[in-house]
């Protein structure tokens, strides 16, 4: 049995959410109001990959169940307090018969060019994204229409786990 540790996620300095850490994954729920409806979004942080992934509840009906993956920087700001900050590169993963989409490389390049991203951090981010794609999505020479390791097995049980429902937006 894997032990769950309580954790608080500080996302992009704008959201604080209570969650749990199970092994190399942090899971947390957070909510928002859009188009007259309250939504709760479950998000997973793959600590080894530096990727934050979810199935956006606000995706259009034709893309429900697809995954949105963000490259993030991670910092344990204090024991039990994980800070995640978006690092521009995103991957959208649909069903296996669709290609995944890599987004916002231009934003990543702009952040590098204007100094918001140090060269060593940029190199680390590109390496992490390539590793994520190679380990979880790239089929190599396989002829079957499945993702090799996506969604990650580490989040399977966390998709239905009871998580704290405690979040707040920060100023």
Q: pLDDT truncated to tens, each residue of the chain (171 aa)?
A: 568 999 999 999 999 999 999 999 999 999 998 889 899 999 999 999 999 999 999 999 999 999 999 999 999 999 999 999 999 999 999 998 888 999 999 999 999 999 999 999 999 999 999 999 999 998 776 667 788 889 998 898 899 999 999 999 997
State the virtual CA torsion across 116, 117, 119, 123 in degrees, nearest 10: -160
DSSP letter, residue 3? P
Q: How far, rounded to the nearest angstrom, does the alpha carbon of residue 8 sit from its chain's CA centroid?
A: 15
pLDDT at 124: 97
Take residue 122 and report the two structure tokens written for it.
């940029």
pLDDT at 139: 75
pLDDT at 142: 65
pLDDT at 106: 97
Q: Which residue has the tokens 């300095």?
A: 13
Q: Strand, helix or coil at 82?
A: strand
Question: Could you give the CA distance from residue 138 to residue 96 in angstroms, rounded to a whole number?
Answer: 11
pLDDT at 111: 97
Provide the pairing of β-strand 51-54 with 67-78. Answer: antiparallel
């Amino acid at each position: 049995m894997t032990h769950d540790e309580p954790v608080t996620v500080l996302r992009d300095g704008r959201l604080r959410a209570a969650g749990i850490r199970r092994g190399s994954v942090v899971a947390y729920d957070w909510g928002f109001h859009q188009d007259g409806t309250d939504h709760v979004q479950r998000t997973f942080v793959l600590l080894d990959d530096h990727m934050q992934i979810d199935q956006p509840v606000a995706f259009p009906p034709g893309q429900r169940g697809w995954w949105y993956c963000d490259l993030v920087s991670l910092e344990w700001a204090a024991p039990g307090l994980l800070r995640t900050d978006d690092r521009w590169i995103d991957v959208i993963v649909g069903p296996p018969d669709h290609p995944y989409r890599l987004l916002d490389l231009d934003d990543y390049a702009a952040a590098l060019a204007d100094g918001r991203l140090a060269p060593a951090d940029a190199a680390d981010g590109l390496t992490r994204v390539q590793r994520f794609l190679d380990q979880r999505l790239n089929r190599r020479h396989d002829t079957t229409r499945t993702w090799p390791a996506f969604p990650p097995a580490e989040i399977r049980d966390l998709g239905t786990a009871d998580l704290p429902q405690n979040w707040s937006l920060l100023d």
